[in-house]
């Protein structure tokens, strides 16, 4: 058994998180780096990410080897013709973070509301010193 700790689910596709948009169907998808906030609280860290157009089913949040990766898939609108004015493109969101060792992976929680993801990264409680019994052969 591997000692892999996944918060939500492991990526069963097997290709992990790429740096370039996945090409499930041949049309390339745009990939954006969502803006984030990170602040400290008494219990640890809180992370916010703007992911407009992403619902809970389209969000994949995973952690492996201290790397927290978020991927949000946005539904592509059927009608993309007749653009009169365009300030933003439609694409998916990808960003990853390196967590420090004192984040308790087991207690990470996440919530998605109105296109904003909030992830709580609680600090691990200081581990008690543990005595290791030494035996002789």
Partner 1 sequence: MPVFRWGQNWDPFRDLEREVDRLLQGMNLSLQRSARRFPLINLIDSGDRFVLTAEIPGVELSDLELTAANGVLMIKGVRNPPQEAREDSFRRQERFQGAWQRSLQLPDRIDEDGMKAEYSLGILTVVLPKVAGIAARSIPITEGPA
Binding residues (CB under 8 A) for partner 1: these are 19-21, 28, 30-41, 45-46, 48, 50-55, 79-89, 91, 94, 113-116
Q: Are 30 and 90 in contact (CB under 8 A)?
A: yes
- Least distance CB 60 / partner 1 (angstroms): 16
Buried b / exposed e along 45-63 (16+ C-beta atoms within 10 A): bebebebebbeeebbbbbb
Q: How far is the CB of 20 from partner 1 (least distance, A)?
A: 7
Rank residues 27 and 136 by Cβ distance to partner 1 and give the closer one.
27
The smaller minimum CB distance to partner 1, of residues 10 and 17, is found at 17
HSE-CB at 77 with a 13 A cutoff on CA atoms is 8
Q: Which is nearer to partner 1, 8 or 53 (CB)?
A: 53
Q: With CA atoms as reference, report the closest residue to 94 among 45, 47, 30, 39.
A: 30
Q: How far is the CB of 134 from partner 1 (least distance, A)?
A: 42
């Amino acid at each position: 058994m591997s000692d892999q700790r996944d918060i939500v689910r492991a990526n069963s596709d097997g290709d992990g998180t790429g740096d370039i948009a996945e090409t499930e169907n041949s049309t390339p998808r745009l990939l954006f780096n969502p803006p984030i906030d990170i602040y400290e609280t008494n219990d640890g860290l809180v992370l916010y990410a703007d992911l407009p157009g992403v619902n809970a089913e389209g969000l994949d949040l995973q952690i492996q080897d201290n790397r927290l990766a978020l991927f949000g898939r946005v539904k592509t609108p059927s009608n993309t013709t007749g653009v009169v004015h365009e300030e933003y493109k439609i694409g998916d969101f990808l960003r990853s973070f390196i967590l420090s060792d004192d984040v308790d992976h087991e207690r990470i929680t996440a919530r998605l509301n109105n296109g904003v993801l909030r992830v709580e990264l609680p600090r691990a409680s200081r581990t008690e010193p543990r005595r290791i019994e030494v035996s002789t052969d």
